[in-house]
Amino acid sequence: MGLIEKLCDAYGPAGREHGVRAIIEQEVKGSCADIQTDRLGNLICRKGPAKGGGEKIMLCAHMDEIGVIVTYIDKKGFLRFSNIGGVFPARILHQRVLFENGTIGVIGIEPDQDRAKPAAKPKLDLMYIDVGARGQEEAQKFVQIGDIACFYQQAVRIGDGRMSAKALDDRIGCYCMIEAMKRVGKTDHDLYFVFSTQEEMGLRGARTGAYAIEPAYALAIDVTDTGDTPEAHKMQVELGRGVAIKVKDSSFIANPAIKDRLVELARDRAIPYQFEILEKGTTDAAIIQLVKEGVMSGVLSIPTRYIHSTNEVCDLKDVQATIDLLVRACEKGLG
């Protein structure tokens, strides 16, 4: 199993990122000068001059993924649940979920009460999880109220150089940071690679991480939507056209100097890139830029189809372009 598959398949819903953190820490321990885990669970890896100095740059990708939390167990042993992060009901029906203790369940839904009416969009409050229990008492041997599950799917390579997996958002960003950390040679810049927690619950880890580091510059590395599927919302981003340099999303406007610097670095090495304007959604950069007196921030995005589903899809050429540009930014700086 490759590192991308290992990261994507790992259990790690928001607030329960420890398994993913352990994989990353094992992978990068020989590639940085210092590794710390803060109180919110962020993994912070520093690389740069022994005494610091130069530009202080924060690179950030989140470890967590969306999931569900058990709220009620009925007499027949079916579990009612609520969402952890942005769960879209239409994308999870009849999918499997995985609890931390290894219990697997299948998501079902109550039948329409009035068959004469057109089928409504599925709603979470009509859904349940079937863990194969024969009643409430048996179900409670497997799960308890408050237990959290992620979606259960195996990462696979599809087509020519593309990948389908759950949690590409944002394990593929974590992978890009790991690979960049390994490749960055001697640098005069003070680099902080932050693998953040609870992004899906409000960018929480990025806020505390940036507050502690006080960077001058920051880049978030995350996925973004595409407009290249049939009848898709019109958006310029496509799979296979390179790393997406964010201009704006629903909560963030890229610092123009950082955006222009990223374009300059990409053109200098003929790294394929495209511009991203995301009308719905945001990244850790939205909160990093607001910490203390402010941080000059940008975003590198990996184009990804079917975000927040159990089968997200990306192109590994775009992943490589993201790594290449991230390495250049780390070596040459953003100022």
Q: Over the stretch 242-265, which tens digit does the pLDDT of each residue have?
A: 999 999 999 999 999 999 999 999
Residue 18 has a pLDDT of 97
Q: What is the pTM of this model?
A: 0.94
Residue 2 has pLDDT above 80, yes or no: yes
- Residues 199, 200, 238, 312: which is the catalytic one? 199
pLDDT of residue 116: 54
- State what percent of residues in the chain have pLDDT above 90: 88
CA angle 206, 212, 218 (to 5 degrees): 50
Residues 281, 310: Cα–Cα separation, whole Å: 18
Strand, helix or coil for residue 160: coil
pLDDT given at position 52: 62
In a domain, 111, yes or no: yes
| Within a domain: 99 | yes
Return the pLDDT at 55. Answer: 84
Residue 199 known to be catalytic: yes
Q: What is the mean pLDDT of the chain?
A: 94
Residue 242 sits in the same domain as residue 138: no
Q: What is the pLDDT of residue 185?
A: 81
In a domain, 266, yes or no: yes
Q: How far is CA 270 from CA 31, 169, 183, 258, in A?
A: 26, 26, 18, 18
Domain extent for 19: 3-64+166-332
Mean pLDDT of 211-235: 94
Query: In what helix (H) or strand (E) does residue 244 lie, and over which residues does it extend?
Result: strand 243-248
- Are 188 and 55 part of one and the same domain? yes
Share of the chain above pLDDT 70, in %: 96
Whole-angstrom distance, CA of residue 229 vs CA of residue 47: 39
Q: Using CA atoms of 177, 181, 182, 186 in order, give the dihedral in degrees to the nearest 10.
A: 150
For position 317, what pLDDT does the model report? 98
Last residue of a domain, one of 124, 151, 178: 151
Q: Examine the domain organization and report whether 172 and 280 are in the same domain.
A: yes
Inside any domain, residue 129: yes
**Residue 118: predicted pLDDT:** 52
Res 115 pLDDT > 60: no
Provide the pLDDT for residue 113. 59
Alpha-carbon distances of 70 from 79, 80, 100, 141, 199, rounded to whole Å: 6, 6, 13, 14, 20
Q: Cβ contacts of residue 27 below 8 Å, gap of 6+?
A: 3, 178
pLDDT tens profile 142-199: 999 999 999 999 999 999 999 999 999 999 999 999 999 999 987 889 999 999 999 9
pLDDT for 61 equals: 98
pLDDT band for position 117 (cuts 50, 70, 90): low
Phi and psi at residue 136, to the nearest 5°: -60, -45
Residue 50: the pLDDT is 64
Domain tally, the chain: 2
Do both 184 and 323 map to the same domain?
yes
Sign, CA torsion 212/218/224/227: positive
Which CATH number covers residue 129? 2.40.30.40
Q: Is residue 202 included in any domain, yes or no? A: yes
**Cβ(227)–Cβ(233) below 8 Å:** yes
Question: Peptide bond before 170: cis, by omega within 30 degrees of 0?
Answer: yes
Residue 87 pLDDT exceeds 70: yes
Q: Is residue 161 part of a domain?
A: no
Residue 160 belongs to a domain:
no
Provide the pLDDT for residue 48: 83
What 8-state DSSP symbol labels residue 279? S
